[in-house]
């Protein structure tokens, strides 16, 4: 096959990028411009396929991505009103994630990049979340990031594209996983995060006394394993286990109370850690944030309110993408592709899909942080 020799559609500083996301259970494609305009952002959820199992089944997820990705990319391009020749780059989540799904997205992106002679950009899924707050905004580096999702819970200083200083993280479970396990334990439904939030809105958080692991301890690490265990013990003591919704022994009010107590405990933990992180950030970088929250858990309105109060108390501000851009989506991948393409950071077509890919292994901009930060 002879590849068409086509010139880039726009300048390097205002590129138009196709993004593809298949790292978990959403098949997504988007087109984003260098000035932050989202021309298309399509997400095909697999919730119905995984709901009977109470969680994501990797083999089912990969098969669904394979079945739908080509059509979704075609629809995104049609919605954007563009041909592939109009693109300046192809960005895709290359990890971390469920390797079968990641592989589907990576191979699709490579095929398009090869066929249309366009730069290929392998995006770290976490960097996609980390840079989303800059999409269509004037947010500058550095800033403090709380990344909270089903698989990750980290506090990071974002110093530039590809430059992330880890300040703290979970020593066991991610906060999103704790939400999912609590929802499953209480029979609240799937996905767990929105189910717990909905139940908690009807409950009394003071009805159950749950622990706050790591609260007040030195450092900025998190722990949620003990909180999950405490929720199970509380549910067992209250007779809430093995009571399907609608059964004679079901007690929706008590379940709502326990959900509210759990959500309150998580909020207390995140608030305390982020308050300390803002103080450290000010010392290291000479500015009070801002505090950016990203990842699927960032869509929780209760947690946003708690973190907003923390930021105000530190004379900073909380920045959070719209809820639709907090959960997995391809617009964030396309935007990360825009940021990298502007810096000439592209990848060869033999780049491998990766199930694990720490942010610390990324390469990006040269020094973009203040000199005082380098000593920290």
* Domain extent for 245: 143-320
Q: Which two tokens stand for residue 176?
A: 């999103």
- Asked if 304 and 170 sit in the same domain, the reply is yes
- Asked if 257 and 276 sit in the same domain, the reply is yes
How many other CB atoms are found less than 10 A from the CB of residue 201? 13
Residue for token pair 């093995």: 242
**Residues 329/23, Cβ–Cβ less than 8 Å:** no
- Asked if 127 and 172 sit in the same domain, the reply is no
372 vs 361, residue with greater confidence: 361
- Interval 128-154 mean pLDDT: 93
Final residue of a structural domain among 278, 294, 320: 320
CATH of the domain at 310: 3.30.420.40
Q: Across all residues in the chain, what is the average pLDDT?
A: 90
Q: Is residue 11 part of a domain?
A: no
**Residues 79/118, Cβ–Cβ less than 8 Å:** no
- Asked if 314 and 330 sit in the same domain, the reply is no
Q: Which two tokens stand for residue 348?
A: 């060869």
Best CA proximity match to 231, nearest among 186, 270, 271: 186
- Asked if 109 and 25 sit in the same domain, the reply is yes
Least trusted range by pLDDT, from 45-54, 143-152, 261-270 = 45-54
- Asked if 215 and 274 sit in the same domain, the reply is yes
- Asked if 149 and 279 sit in the same domain, the reply is yes
Confidence grade of residue 365 (pLDDT, cut at 50, 70, 90): low
Confidence grade of residue 140 (pLDDT, cut at 50, 70, 90): very high
Q: Is residue 1 part of a domain?
A: no
Angle of CA points 8, 132, 355, to nearest 5°: 85
Q: Is residue 358 part of a domain?
A: yes
- Asked if 281 and 155 sit in the same domain, the reply is yes
Least trusted range by pLDDT, from 5-9, 33-37, 111-115 = 5-9
**Residues 107/100, Cβ–Cβ less than 8 Å:** no
pLDDT in tens, 204-258: 999 999 999 999 999 999 999 999 999 999 999 999 987 777 777 789 999 999 9
DSSP, residue by residue, 308-333: HHHHHHTT--EE---HHHHSS-SHHH
In 23-152, which ranges are E strands?
Answer: 26-33, 38-45, 89-95, 120-124, 143-148
Q: Is residue 6 part of a domain?
A: no
Q: Which two tokens stand for residue 250?
A: 């079901």
> pTM for this structure?
0.89
- Asked if 174 and 210 sit in the same domain, the reply is yes
- Asked if 180 and 96 sit in the same domain, the reply is no
Radius of gyration of the chain (CA): 21
End-to-end CA separation in angstroms for the chain? 52
Q: Is residue 8 part of a domain?
A: no
Number of domains making up the chain: 2
- Asked if 314 and 332 sit in the same domain, the reply is no
Give the separation between CA 51 and CA 115, rounded to whole angstroms.
Answer: 37
**Residues 59/100, Cβ–Cβ less than 8 Å:** yes
pLDDT in tens, 20-64: 999 988 899 999 999 999 999 999 876 667 666 666 777 787 888
Q: Is residue 363 part of a domain?
A: yes
336 vs 45, residue with greater confidence: 336
- Asked if 212 and 314 sit in the same domain, the reply is yes
- The answer on pLDDT for 7 being more than 50 is no
């Amino acid at each position: 096959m002879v590849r068409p020799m086509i010139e880039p559609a726009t300048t390097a500083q205002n590129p138009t990028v196709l993004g593809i996301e298949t790292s978990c259970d959403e098949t997504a494609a988007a087109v984003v411009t260098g000035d932050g305009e989202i021309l298309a952002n399509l997400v095909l959820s697999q919730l119905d396929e995984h709901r009977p199992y109470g969680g994501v089944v990797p083999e089912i997820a990969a098969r669904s991505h394979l079945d739908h990705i080509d059509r979704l990319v075609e629809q995104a391009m049609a919605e954007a009103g563009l041909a592939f020749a109009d693109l300046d780059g192809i960005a895709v989540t290359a990890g971390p994630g469920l390797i079968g799904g990641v592989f589907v997205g990576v191979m699709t992106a490579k095929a398009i990049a090869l066929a249309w002679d366009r730069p290929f950009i392998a995006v770290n899924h976490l960097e996609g979340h980390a840079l989303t707050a800059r999409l269509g905004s004037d947010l500058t580096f550095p800033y403090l990031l709380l990344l909270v999702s089903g698989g990750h819970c980290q506090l990071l200083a974002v110093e530039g594209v590809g430059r992330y200083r880890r300040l703290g993280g979970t020593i066991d479970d991610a906060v999103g996983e704790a939400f999912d396990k609590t929802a499953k334990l209480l029979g609240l439904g799937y996905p767990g995060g929105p189910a717990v939030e909905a139940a908690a809105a009807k409950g009394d958080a003071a009805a159950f006394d749950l622990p706050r692991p790591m609260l007040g301890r030195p450092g900025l690490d998190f722990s949620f394993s003990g909180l999950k265990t405490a929720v199970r013990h509380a549910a067992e003591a209250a007779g809430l286990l093995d009571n399907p919704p609608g059964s004679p022994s079901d007690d929706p009010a008590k379940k709502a109370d326990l959900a509210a107590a759990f959500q309150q405990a998580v909020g207390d933990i995140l608030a305390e850690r982020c308050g300390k992180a803002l103080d450290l950030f000010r010392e290291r970088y000479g500015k009070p944030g801002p505090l950016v929250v990203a990842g699927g858990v960032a869509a929780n309105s209760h947690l946003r309110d708690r973190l907003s109060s923390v930021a105000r108390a530190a004379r900073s501000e909380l920045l959070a993408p719209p809820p639709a851009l907090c959960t997995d989506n391809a617009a964030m991948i396309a935007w990360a592709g825009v940021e990298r393409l502007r810096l000439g950071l592209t990848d060869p077509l033999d780049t491998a899909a990766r199930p694990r890919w720490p942010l610390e292994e990324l390469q990006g901009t040269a020094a973009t942080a203040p000199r005082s930060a380098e000593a920290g």
